[in-house]
Structure 1
Amino acid sequence: MPEPILELKDVKAGYGSIKALKGISIKAYEGEIVSIIGANGAGKSTTLMTICNVVKATSGDIYYRGERINSVNSDKLPEMGLCQVPEGRRIFPRLSVEENLDMGAFHRKDKEIADDMERAFDMFPILKERRRQPGGTLSGGEQQMLAIARALMSRPKVLLLDEPSLGLAPLIVQQIFDIVGEINKQGTTVILVEQNARVALSMAKRGYVLETGNVVMEDDAKVLLDNPDIQKAYLGE
């Protein structure tokens, strides 16, 4: 069995006295989509923020490509190939679409940034049309596309996606997930935190279920989709 490209071992984290993660262990192998599902407050977003060191792990270990990254500054991780698209998009509203994309490549010194921007525009044609517009004038779906495209400008090996469908119309959600599937086919490992458990598990190879800061179930995504308890709790069946 190959080594995981990303691994959390018994990771605990929280906010002051609130223990949001109570010792979770998660693995992702190169080329996978791994989905993390759970109710609001289960610790899904905290998991991604702890991987990126935005929230500090109080104990446990986080490994990326075999290297322990607990103490690596969050702004250094995109250089290493680990990039997050946070919940709520967090684009730069006053910067143009192009300038937002440039910010995604802030750490790069190579001469292929313009080529990668054109690839992003091929993947998200609406962004090409809007390339001179301030990011804040885009619709919610367009802002989500911009947030993903900006992350891709860092050439991630692992892309952490936090609630990409939040607040979007079903048609836009389908577009976003089609693109996520395409990104994965091109070789990027994806960790997907998503309230829409059915879509998340349908796309993934493996899945984890979080409840109140604990991993309560992990399995192949198809097995989780067919699990009556999961269907009842998360799929509305």
Structure 2
Amino acid sequence: MTTQRTAVVTGASSGIGEAAARTLAAAGYHVFVGARRLDRLEKLADEIGGTALELDVTDEDSVDAFTAVIPRVDVLVNNAGGAKGLAPIAEADLDDWQWMWETNVLGTLRITKALLPKLIESGDGLIVTITSVAALGPYDNGAGYTAAKHGQAMVHRTLRGELLGKPVRLTEIAPGAVETEFSLVRFHGDAEKAAKVYDGIDPLLADDIAEIIGFVASRPPHVNLDQIIVRPRDQGAVPGQFSRRS
């Protein structure tokens, strides 16, 4: 009897994480979804036949409890993360920087470290880390987020070399502007300010990124898609560069 392949998705209560969970479930995976908003997770898990588990990637005890009850891991999607604030370095809010570092960098490290033995044991593990085009270069007022995303990307890219010879593949997906709750979090719940980020452009959608995750997970074991950069047509190579229609 074949054991069902299992996927773990962090930050799955909305946006890219939720969409990724739906895509992987449709591909036949049993999906463990983790996030802090358990009510949303349980609704999602019911819809996709998955398992909802409360998770705060900034809390070691929460990560330990989350990973301890997952018996098998074939795919890990490190999606939990985000930005807070959009201030120049001279006006940096250290609490925002601390949150971004804890969530994006150490959160990814905690989950990956805890689940790595199970990924190796699966015989064909896959780690997908959702970074950002902010992991590729700077933009004005974005140093807190770009620093965190560069840090997260370095954890992922370093692990790629450290795991050579092990049955684990690693893919970094670096999206540009995706219309999710990202900007709502960045601007501390200011919906009007968040909506203006996407004025005049056609941003990516969470489903666009989820479709790429599904494609990556469907590749045969010898194929490693190292890095995928995806932007909306209206976004240039520089993270803050957009062509906006009036």
TM score, norm. by length of structure 1? 0.35
Higher relative CO (CA 8 A, sep ≥ 6), structure 1 or 2? 1
* Structure (1 or 2) with the greater strand fraction: 1
